[in-house]
A and B are shown apart, each in its own frame.
Chain A
Amino acid sequence: MDGASVAERSLLTLQQLEHLILVLHRRGYEVIGPLVRDGAIVYDVVDRLSDLPAGWTDEQEAGRYRLQRRNDGALFGYVVGPQSWKKYLHPGEVRLLAAERHGQTLRILNNETTPPRRAFLGVRACELAAIAVQDRVLLGDRYRDSVYASRREGIFIVAVNCTQAAPTCFCTSMGTGPRVRSGYDLALTELVGPDKHEFVVEAGSEAGAEVSRELARATAAEDVCQQADAAVERAASQIKRRMDTTNIRELLYSNFDHPRWDNVAQRCLTCANCTMVCPTCFCTTVEDVSDITGTHAQRWRKWDSCFTQNFSYIHGGSVRSSGKSRYRQWMTHKLASWIDQFGSSGCVGCGRCISWCPVGIDITEEVRAIRESTTSSKESGHGNS
């Protein structure tokens, strides 16, 4: 594997992985990782290794997500669930300020509660790419989002290379996975078999190397590293979903009036699920609340979605009143105008929007339908409505 195998890799046993959580706790991190709840694998505080979803996997297809038992005890034998790390970095609800008013006096207080230092355990390659995308949006532009900045700074990332893929995955098309490339402190590759359960670990930062040194460690033997690489290769080869991103910006900009938008609008419920599960969607609204005395007020920022009618409301009505225009806005933003705005695609190929769409709309299929009906008149027929 290019680059990745250059760094020295060590081997952790299951017990030593338990130790990793302890070391992170000792260093003052709140550890966030995967656990099973409400029939899904979600991210929350993990105290010990036994909190992790050992022996569980997820079965995904367009409009479908189910947990299944595995026949081994793999801890990271699932792909991605409905939540992403934006739950912690760009929270769904956050208080921007509190204020008090007494007569003509007004006191505006910043929210200075410092969020805990967090370590993320089990971050996939597509999710690292999504964090990099949100860094660019919320930190890398003219203004810095202080909410995101305070949560992002000092984060410790334990990434996990995918050793299996879901049918909804298309990270290979977006160039984001399944192997993690950068932006992590430690990266794990899980090797699980009838008589072994171990993790090849590599450090991606000085902080990662320090933590790695604290764990009892043995250098991973060449054949073990090869097994780890092969497992990631296997995941890559399992990925069958494709999105052709060639000139995708021009493709979508020049197909604003394509009949496919009417076609997808007949299926789309404008429920906003895709934007809620998307790890890069960043849109928010702000709501004011006040108490019954009228002396205390708060401003809250909440996730919002371009699929709602109110999203584009200006005096006189909503700019995007049709479902067609809202789906088109979401997809064109994600895949085309994002490139103009932030220099990369807004899509990382995680497939969440496909699994969690209640009617199984597949963004890769929508792109294909537009492309196939525009690139060549000879290929007319399927995909076009």
Chain B
Amino acid sequence: MEENKVATAANFDPMLPQPYSVLQVVKETADTFTLTLQARNGAGTAPFEPGQFSMLWVFGVGELPISISGDPSDLGRLVYTVRSVGEATNSLVNREVGEAIGVRGPFGTGWPIHQAEGRDVVVIAGGIGFAPLRPVIYEVLHNRKKYGRLVILYGARSPRELLYRKELAAWVRQNDTQVLVTVDYGGLSWRGHVGVVTTLFKYARLQPARSLAFTCGPEIMMRFAARELENLGFARENIYLSMERNMKCAVGFCGHCQYGPHFICKDGPVFSYDKMRPLLEKYEL
């Protein structure tokens, strides 16, 4: 019924998607969905590093770079959290169970999680930027002894736009884990923090000299978060950002994702703040 040329080392074409099936679509918020995919033909799923992304192709519509938001130790499936903002993302989240999606990847350089062994891990997420950080949380919680404390600072626009709410509640109860959540607009029933994510720093128990900080969210949020972390005593090379630019190929051929000398797709998307700081200040770079 179905066939596909399986990529081997000799004829590997990084531009050729592999067919995957939609196993599950979970609605996270009004416009954000988490998709679980499984390779067809009994083919395995390539292992990924937290922070890496795939190119997801919807037949006849287009292809998008989407961060992997699932558990890196779960080798059988790939999980993505997608915010529907345009035609392509909309068609991606509207797939039904069993339908096919083309997958290329995983691509890019992820979070340097192994450098964090023996140190605290500070996760600072804004909005959909939480998705590529969730694999970091899974990695730390599965290997609890390898890491120090886990601090999760997460900001969303409103309580209704919070992702992974059940898991947030569960992570709060984990040992050596601090979870702080803030929203821009709380509404009457919200009893938590209100304000941008950097306002959470004063409640976080941070040990800047023995921590690695990973941040993903809108660029302006990351700029302020990194600046604040530096003020708190974090070394620039211990702060990591996940950058976003237009991407067509994910392998350095299309040229779209250039950011100064860097290709976001292969040199990133994760970069240390000492590399990004001079570039973040440049308007329309």
The interface of chain A, by Cβ under 8 A from chain B, is 96-97, 99, 101, 104-110, 137-138, 141-143, 145-147, 256, 282-286, 288-290, 294, 297, 299, 301, 304, 306, 311-315, 319-322, 324-325, 329, 333, 336-337, 340-341
Interface string of B85-105 (1 = CB under 8 A from A): 110000000000011101000
Count of inter-chain pairs, beta carbons less than 8 A:
125
Contacts of B11 in A (CB 8 A): 146
**In the complex, A299→B256 CA distance in Å?**
17
The answer to whether A284 touches B248 (Cβ under 8 A) is yes
- The binding surface of chain A is classed by DSSP as mixed
The answer to whether A288 touches B61 (Cβ under 8 A) is yes
The answer to whether A321 touches B254 (Cβ under 8 A) is no
- Residue from B1, B15, B61, B62 whose CB has the most chain A CB atoms within 10 Å: B15
Docked complex: B1-27 residues within 8 A CB-CB of A: 1-5, 11, 13-19, 21
Question: In whole Å, how far is B137's beta carbon from the nearest beta carbon of chain A?
Answer: 25
A105-B2, A106-B102, A143-B14 given; A282·B60 CB < 8 A: no
The answer to whether B256 touches A285 (Cβ under 8 A) is yes
The answer to whether A286 touches B59 (Cβ under 8 A) is no
Question: In whole Å, how far is B210's beta carbon from the nearest beta carbon of chain A?
Answer: 32
The answer to whether B100 touches A104 (Cβ under 8 A) is yes
A297-B59, A319-B284 given; A314·B245 CB < 8 A: yes
- The binding surface of chain B is classed by DSSP as loop
**In the complex, A7→B266 CA distance in Å?**
42
The answer to whether A107 touches B245 (Cβ under 8 A) is no
The answer to whether B254 touches A285 (Cβ under 8 A) is yes
The answer to whether A105 touches B100 (Cβ under 8 A) is yes
What are the 9 closest A-B residue pairs judged by CB atoms, nearest first?
Answer: A290-B60, A283-B255, A325-B284, A340-B261, A106-B100, A297-B60, A143-B251, A337-B261, A146-B13
**In the complex, A256→B261 CA distance in Å?**
13
Contacts of B284 in A (CB 8 A): 319-322, 324-325
**In the complex, A285→B253 CA distance in Å?**
10
Return the contact of B246 from the options A99, A288, A312 (Cβ within 8 A): A312
Tell me if B147 is interfacial: C-beta within 8 Å of chain A. no
**In the complex, A52→B245 CA distance in Å?**
45
Question: In whole Å, how far is B29's beta carbon from the nearest beta carbon of chain A?
Answer: 16
Return the contact of A288 from the options B40, B60, B256 (Cβ within 8 A): B60
Tell me if B49 is interfacial: C-beta within 8 Å of chain A. no
Return the contact of B254 from the options A142, A256, A286 (Cβ within 8 A): A286
**In the complex, A306→B283 CA distance in Å?**
16
Question: In whole Å, how far is A358's beta carbon from the nearest beta carbon of chain B?
Answer: 23
The answer to whether B15 touches A96 (Cβ under 8 A) is yes
Tell me if B45 is interfacial: C-beta within 8 Å of chain A. no
**In the complex, A17→B283 CA distance in Å?**
55
The answer to whether B4 touches A108 (Cβ under 8 A) is yes
Contacts of A146 in B (CB 8 A): 11, 13, 15
